[in-house]
Amino acid sequence: MEFGTPLMEGARRILLLGSGELGKEMAIESQRLGVEVVAVDRYDMAPAMHVAHRRYVINMMDGKAIKAIVRREVPDAVIAEIEAINTDALVELEEEGFRVVPNARAVKVCMNRVELRRLAAEKLGLPTTKYYVAESPSDVERACKDLGYPCLIKPEMSSSGHGHVIIKSRDGVEEGFRRAVEHARGASRKVIVEEFVEIDREFTALTYRHRVGNSIETRTLTPIEHQRPKGVFHYVESWHPPTANESVLKTAKEMAIKVVDELGGLGIYGVELILTRDGRLLFSEVAPRPHDTGLVTLVSTDINEFQIHVRAALGFQIPEVKLVTPAASHVIIADNEGYAPRFIGIEEALAIPGVQVRLFGKPSTYRGRRMGVVLAVGDTVNEARERARLAASKIKVITH
Ligand SMILES: Nc1ncnc2c1ncn2[C@@H]1O[C@H](COP(=O)(O)OP(=O)(O)OP(=O)(O)O)[C@@H](O)[C@H]1O
Ligand SMILES: [Mg+2]
């Protein structure tokens, strides 16, 4: 495969639909390979835009805008970096011959909890939490009756825990359904009602499809492990390698490969799995892209998840990915709304051995927004976790 020079005739080009922190790392990796980068998002100066050759600010649900940009830029790969994208435009672009990564159908299925559940649980027979699809409070009530309280409602379309509502008793059904639907992306009134499980720990099985000669192969990394503090719906820390026993990890890998093979295409997927306190390993959902908990691979593996995704998107073969050191990641979160945030404690954090800091460059903050991440290596996972936690505790996001 011939490689040109960025901004010149013959340049290889990737186009990122969504330009957050995951896109930023993909952009940096592309830059290193001399690949031209086009970053698209709904707001200006999103993380990947800081390191892209060109940028576009559009409403990501506007299919016409997406198609206009892709047709003008003619990228070698269109990488879906967020869920909130007009997926019909991706389907059309794929039919025109553009390479959508991993593929348009996978992006469409993964953003829809109902479709994804049906595929994983009913078509592939993977174990999941017990669930029902509901479209009204009375549907929810019927589901809860069978599942028992507490149970959990999630909108058909949403991410980062938006619209998740725990229903504690029959009295909470009406209000819970209203809140879930209100926080959904789009107009759907469909929700999933799930049994609420006690979580021991969670895994992300990074699983990729890459070209090997004339065929495509699927491989999976040793899963990343993570735990969320009670009541927190976003990832706080992750570590690699995992500490779970071999038989759990083996099953996790098999489940991940099964679902990723079904979704197809090229590139990496983050397959989310839950290990319950009563010992069940359950498929939860899958992101058709690098995963936020996988930021730890920036230090834990010889080829990180962003390199894997970019290389696979360009049609490269990827050698076996090796774990090089125990490592951990810990998020840096804003606790206020503001513009032009500042950070204190960076020097103190970086004075800790084995620690690196990534600040994403987001121009504004809101309560709970992820602004950066601490990465740490250590002789053991515990040492790496301690270092990451300590470093993150030194850093504060200041907004005025
Ligand atoms: N049935 C359940 N019982 C208990 N906890 C759950 C259940 N389902 C999900 N969770 C917890 O909530 C988290 C988020 O759930 P899920 O991944 O389905 O939502 P999401 O909106 O896609 O979030 P994200 O974008 O952060 O992955 C899970 O990682 C897990 O910690
Ligand atoms: Mg999830």
Active site residue 10: no
Any atom of ligand 1 within 6 Å of the Cβ of 84 = no
- For the CA atoms of the chain, what is the radius of gyration? 21
User: Which of 82, 204, 226, 233 most suits a substitution to test ligand 1, by most atoms within 8 Å of the C-beta?
Assistant: 233
- Average model confidence (pLDDT) across the chain: 96
pLDDT at 174: 93
User: Which of 164, 191, 193, 227 most suits a substitution to test ligand 1, by most atoms within 8 Å of the C-beta?
Assistant: 164
Query: Domain 325-400: what homologous superfamily?
Result: ATP-grasp fold, B domain (3.30.470.20)
Q: Mind giving me the DSSP string for 113-161?
A: HHHHHIIIIIIS------EEEESSHHHHHHHHHHH-SSEEEEESS--TT
Averaged pLDDT, 370-386? 98
Taking 90 as the threshold, does the pLDDT of residue 346 lie above it? Answer: yes
Q: Mind giving me the DSSP string for 277-346?
A: TTS-EEEEEEESS--GGGGGHHHHBSS-HHHHHHHHHTT---PPP-B-S-EEEEEEE--S-EES-EEE-H
Q: pLDDT exceeding 70 applies to what percent of the chain?
A: 100
Of the candidate CATH numbers 3.40.50.720, 3.30.1490.20, 3.30.1010.10, 3.10.580.10, the domain formed by 130-195 belongs to 3.30.1490.20
Catalytic residue among 41, 156, 225, 272: 272
Higher local confidence (pLDDT), 210 or 233 = 210
pLDDT at 140: 95
What distance in angstroms lies between residue 75's CA and the mean position of ligand 1's atoms? 34
Cα 114 to its chain centre, rounded Å, is 18
Active site residue 300: no
Give, in order, the Cα–Cα distances in Å from 129 to each of 117, 199, 230, 280. Answer: 10, 11, 18, 9
Contacts of 3 (CB under 8 A, 6+ apart): 10, 12, 33, 34, 35
Any atom of ligand 1 within 6 Å of the Cβ of 284 = yes
CATH 3.40.50.20 residue ranges in the chain?
13-101
CB 312 within 8 A of CB 211: yes
Any atom of ligand 1 within 6 Å of the Cβ of 364 = no
For residue range 30-73, list pLDDT tens digits in order.
999 999 999 999 999 999 999 999 999 999 999 999 999 999 99
Indicate which atom in ligand 1 lies nearest the CA of residue 161.
Answer: 21
Catalytic residue among 5, 44, 160, 161: 161
Give, in order, the Cα–Cα distances in Å from 223 to each of 94, 204, 291, 301. Answer: 31, 5, 12, 12
pLDDT at 251: 98
Catalytic residue among 293, 297, 300, 365: 293
Any atom of ligand 1 within 6 Å of the Cβ of 234 = yes
Residue 88 — pLDDT band, cuts 50, 70, 90?
very high
Enter the CATH code of domain 13-101. 3.40.50.20
Q: How does strand 77-80 pair with strand 267-276?
A: unpaired
CATH 3.30.470.20 residue ranges in the chain?
325-400
Closest listed residue to residue 300, CA positions, set 201, 224, 236, 389: 224
CB 298 within 8 A of CB 304: yes
Taking 80 as the threshold, does the pLDDT of residue 261 lie above it? Answer: yes
pLDDT at 300: 98
CATH 3.30.1490.20 residue ranges in the chain?
130-195
Averaged pLDDT, 263-289? 97
Helices H / strands E in the chain, number of each: 12, 22
Bridge partners (DSSP) of residue 151 are 167, 195
Q: Left (φ > 0), alpha (ψ -120 to 50) or beta: where does 234 sit? A: beta
Q: pLDDT exceeding 90 applies to what percent of the chain?
A: 94
Buried b (16+ CB within 10 A) or exposed e, 23-57: bbbbbbbbeeeebbbbbbbeeeebbbbbbbbebbb
Residue 238 — pLDDT band, cuts 50, 70, 90?
very high
Query: Could you tell me the two tokens for 105?
Result: 């159908």
Any atom of ligand 1 within 6 Å of the Cβ of 244 = no
pLDDT at 176: 93
Any atom of ligand 1 within 6 Å of the Cβ of 185 = no
For residue range 163-206, list pLDDT tens digits in order.
999 999 999 999 999 999 999 988 788 999 999 999 999 999 99
Q: Give pTM, 2 decimals.
A: 0.97
What distance in angstroms lies between residue 283's CA and the mean position of ligand 1's atoms? 11
Closest listed residue to residue 61, CA positions, set 42, 81, 33: 42
Ligand 1: which residue has its CA nearest to atom 2?
A: 196
Any atom of ligand 1 within 6 Å of the Cβ of 161 = yes
Taking 80 as the threshold, does the pLDDT of residue 147 lie above it? Answer: yes
Taking 90 as the threshold, does the pLDDT of residue 161 lie above it? Answer: no
Active site residue 272: yes
Higher local confidence (pLDDT), 198 or 232 = 198
Averaged pLDDT, 76-105? 97
CB 155 within 8 A of CB 185: yes
Taking 80 as the threshold, does the pLDDT of residue 400 lie above it? Answer: no
Taking 90 as the threshold, does the pLDDT of residue 229 lie above it? Answer: no
CB 289 within 8 A of CB 16: no
**What's the distance, Cα to Cα, between the start and end of the chain in Å?**
50
Sign of CA dihedral 162, 239, 329, 322: negative
Averaged pLDDT, 107-126? 96
Residue 230 — pLDDT band, cuts 50, 70, 90?
confident
Catalytic residue among 195, 285, 305, 365: 285
Any atom of ligand 1 within 6 Å of the Cβ of 233 = yes
Q: What are the phi and psi torsion angles at 261 (to 5°)?
A: -60, -35
53-371-40 Cα angle (round to 5): 30
Any atom of ligand 1 within 6 Å of the Cβ of 366 = no
Taking 80 as the threshold, does the pLDDT of residue 75 lie above it? Answer: yes
Active site residue 129: no
